[in-house]
Amino acid sequence: MLTAGQTIDLHMFFPFYGGLYNYTTISVNGYLAFATVLDQGPTINVGPESTDWPRQQDPAMIAPYLCKQQIPQTGNPALRAGIYYRLILRQSLFGRESGSNMNLGGTMQQSSFFGQSASQACPGTPESYARCDAQSDYFLDEMMRWLQEGVAGASMFRADAALVVTWHNTASAIAGRSDIDAGQSATYQAIWLTDQPGRLSYVIFNYDRLGFDAQDFRANSRSGRCRALFNGGNHTGIVEVDPTQAYKNTPKVLAQRSGVPHVVRGRYMFRVDDVVRPAGCSNKTGGTYPIMIYPNIVNMLGEMTVDVNAICLDRSQTYILMIEEREVATCNVLNAAIARCNLPKIYDWGTKTVYFQPQSRGANDDKAFVGYIYFVPPTLDPQRLDIGNIYEWYKNPMPSYLMPITWYPRNFTNPELFNNLNQVGTRISDDALYGVQLGLYVIGYREYKDDEIKKFRPEHRTLARLATYTNRNSYEYRWKPQEEVINLNQVQQWYLTDWERWNTLYTYRVGYLKLAPIRPNDMNGTELLSGYALCHGVL
């Protein structure tokens, strides 16, 4: 590709920074743009601080390495250079199941990845750069596994399409043959993923080698400095891939560091559908750094977990999530990029500022990883249990003693495997991690007046376990909800004595159901594991 940019059709809408785009322009200058870019000068200016919009255009773009570059035409004959792109689409988008994309001869012979002819393109996509076959499905599944290892909440994302662009051995704009032969070239990649409805979108940057910092022939001037960024366009905002001072001094550091250091160097992940949210981890040491939290709308009753992307984690350290004016949440390290924090009861409806940091060493440093969690009543919790039509539960007599219950299996993990995650080598993407026995518990609530503190003290007590379910961990249940039934005429285990059942049971006038992993040898139900609840009403 010898021109400054080539516009391609994406054949579906990809969300980015609040907009939906079914096209993009791939440029030799290290960006994917969604508007015309003025790149005649030594420096390509984008963002609120560098452009005078609307007098001067501010184009939206995804830029893994934005600076003036060239594709070497002369030099070492063994040095291949170019820009390669491929649109990957899942077969199910065209009404086919995985493995059914056979050619007319009925064989499963596949073309090479970069050698697909136009006759083998996807239906309705005449261009040869689109691919939708078994290899496409495999590639998208692998990208989902990559995201799960570095992005909080990515386990609920289904990738149905991806744009893959690779800049291979590009050189700075005015580099000569001697500079290129000296290794001053760059190889990097952008992978842009979305789902079929176009609601979620993620970007993965891979940096193999960065041999220059700027567009000049010495590759290190301040003029034409290379940048890695996301720009929303029209002064809506700009996000740098790496906000550290080391990156500002020399952008080549991107190939040495990583947002997922436990996986590979030079890889960075972002969620980009509404605003750009940094995922993975960072070791930024000044100011504030936004943290990714999933879920960020949670039950005020607590006793559930959230996953956090913030500082790069060390298993030998203890980390905490401090909640504004509330108890501290303890956290466990899943891997170097993701921590899982156990939330306490909050008893408040509203948004709380949270701060993530080490509990001991480094707690007084100037690191400030800041985020927000919206605490809501149980009936407004997006992760709540679905027990069908709530009004059916209040009818007397009840029309049926078999009531439905629905949940998403990927919201539960096996506590035994989770606690030994670093010893047994289990990864977050492994299906075995989500195979666990779940119990459906009835939690009673009452409060009594404490004359000493002049307040009412709340009491939550596990009254009984109604049923036991096996959490389904097969592939299709990554997105599909699990549907079961509750037999209201059956109680598997009481956590009250006979005397309490006859004398104190009816003092719990209000309660709720909670689904949680079963703790071995749990005879009293006093310490339930983290799970999901639904406020049920009068018992």
Q: Do the strands 369-376 and 297-299 form a parallel or antiparallel pair, or are they unpaired?
A: parallel
Confidence of residue 539 (pLDDT cuts 50, 70, 90): very low
At residue 413, does pLDDT exceed 90? no
pLDDT-derived band at 172 (thresholds 50, 70, 90) equals: confident
CA atoms within 13 A on the CB side of 421: 21
Structural contact between residues 417 and 332, judged by C-beta atoms closer than 8 angstroms: no
Q: How far apart (Å, rounded) are the C-alpha atoms in residues 300 and 378?
A: 7
Q: H helices within 310-384, ranges in order?
A: none
pLDDT of residue 439: 93
Q: What is the pLDDT of residue 260?
A: 94
In 3D space, the residue among 307, 327, 365 whose CA is nearest the CA of residue 156 turns out to be 307
Query: At 134, which amino acid appears?
Result: A
CATH no., domain 289-380: 2.60.40.10
Beta strands in 272-379 (DSSP E): 277-278, 289-290, 292-294, 297-299, 305-309, 319-323, 328-333, 339-342, 350-358, 369-376
* Pairing label, strands 130-131, 201-210: unpaired
Name the region of 462 (left: φ>0; alpha: ψ -120 to 50; beta: rest): beta
Q: What is the pLDDT of residues 349-390, one digit of tens each?
A: 999 999 998 887 655 554 668 999 999 988 888 888 888 888
Report pLDDT for 531.
55
The predicted-structure confidence for 316-361, as pLDDT tens digits, reads as follows 888 999 998 888 999 989 889 999 999 998 889 999 999 998 887 6
Does residue 225 carry a pLDDT above 90?
no
CB 298 within 8 A of CB 383: yes
User: What is the rounded CA–CA span in Å between residue 471 and residue 494?
Assistant: 22
Q: What is the pLDDT of residue 297?
A: 93
Q: Give me the residue spans of the domains in the chain.
A: 5-102+116-277, 289-380, 390-538
pLDDT above 70 as % of the chain: 84
- What is the SS3 assignment for 187? strand
d(C-alpha 119, C-alpha 398), whole Å: 61
CA distance 490 to 470: 18
Query: Higher model confidence: residue 1 or residue 464?
Result: 464
Distance CA 309, CA 291 (A): 6
